[in-house]
Amino acid sequence: MLHVSVAVIRDQAGRILLSRRPDDKHLGGLWEFPGGKLEPGESLADGLKREIDEELGILVETHRPLIQVRHAYPDREVLLDVHLVDRWHGEASGREGQEIAWVEPDSLARYPLPPADKPIVTALELPSRYLVTPPGIDRVELMRRLDFIAAKVPRQELILLQLRLLEHSHAQVIEIAQQLLDRYTELALLVKEVGMADELGCGVHLRAADLMALDQRPLSSAQMVAASCHTHEELMQAVVLNVDFVTLSPVQRTLSHPHAAPLGWDMFGQMTENVTMPVYALGGMSESDIERAWQAGAQGIAGISGIWPVLEDALG
């Protein structure tokens, strides 16, 4: 298996750097995120910095894990260790004669990429925080909080929200969801029922039991599909159904499920190691866990009690 370090280089305007593979090489003519295979005994950090310097002439200053991708081509198997780079020194150029391009995130689909690079695009599209609506919240308070978030999130970043309004009727949830979709263009909304998602044209978040009962993806690729996972079998089912992302829980002990044994960060990392999709850590999460989650291979953190209180403090 080829172990490859890959850099997703993002500038201050949010653009992503792509380079074009030479026509005479494997997957020639396709665009890719820059990087290259590690040398024997070389660390990931050293290999990443070396490859980016050799290919682009820039010196990586800071980087963090984004996603790990395993992919089998007919003639080789690759393991891509992908890191997000947003600080570097120098001006990028194709030092090996390759064509490069700075691309807006919403234009990445126009550039033909190798199959192994497709999950990287999904990870780029998703934010680091997956919000779940708190119990008992009404639409006025929810919109007040979302107004605050919408004013603060970086340009082009999605607000990822699971609308879980257990105290409301089906019709009320539909009405609130439609208001949110009309009000926030940057909102990626997920509801709990496939039929409701179909009616609204939004995404769905499947319970683990619903995930295991399916034999195919319930919505088209134009609508986001997420799932709750707690076991290896559920994660593998999510892979088979080609869902867009999952939550894995509980990572830490929670007040809402005090008797559920927490996975811990080591087990979280082991369980997600071969999962080629973004995974959010759920269960006992707070803002202080975001760096630890990234290092364990997570897309970010998900939750209610550990995320919304930070927002409440900011709102006063």
Annotated binding-site members:
21, 26, 32-35, 55
Interatomic CA distance for residues 204 and 245, integer angstroms: 11
What is the side-by-side strand order in the sheet with 35-37?
A: 35-37, 2-9, 77-89, 59-72
The CA distances from residue 270 to 5, 284, 292, 296, in Å, are 20, 19, 14, 9
Residue 232 tokens, joined = 């290896």
Q: Residues annotated in the binding site for 8-oxo-dGTP, as ranges?
A: 21, 26, 32-35
| Ramachandran category for residue 29: left, alpha or beta (phi over 0 → left; psi -120 to 50 → alpha) | left
Cα 190–196–197 angle (5° rounding)? Answer: 40
Contacts of 83 (CB under 8 A, 6+ apart): 5, 6, 7, 8, 44, 48, 63, 64, 65, 66
Interatomic CA distance for residues 68 and 276, integer angstroms: 7
Q: Residues annotated in the binding site for Mg(2+), as ranges?
A: 35, 55
Give the distance, in angstroms, between the CA of residue 294 and the centroid of all CA atoms in the same chain.
Answer: 11
Q: Is 11 helix (H, G, I), strand (E, B) or coil?
A: coil
Q: What count of residues does the chain have?
A: 316
H or E stretch including 48?
Answer: helix 44-56
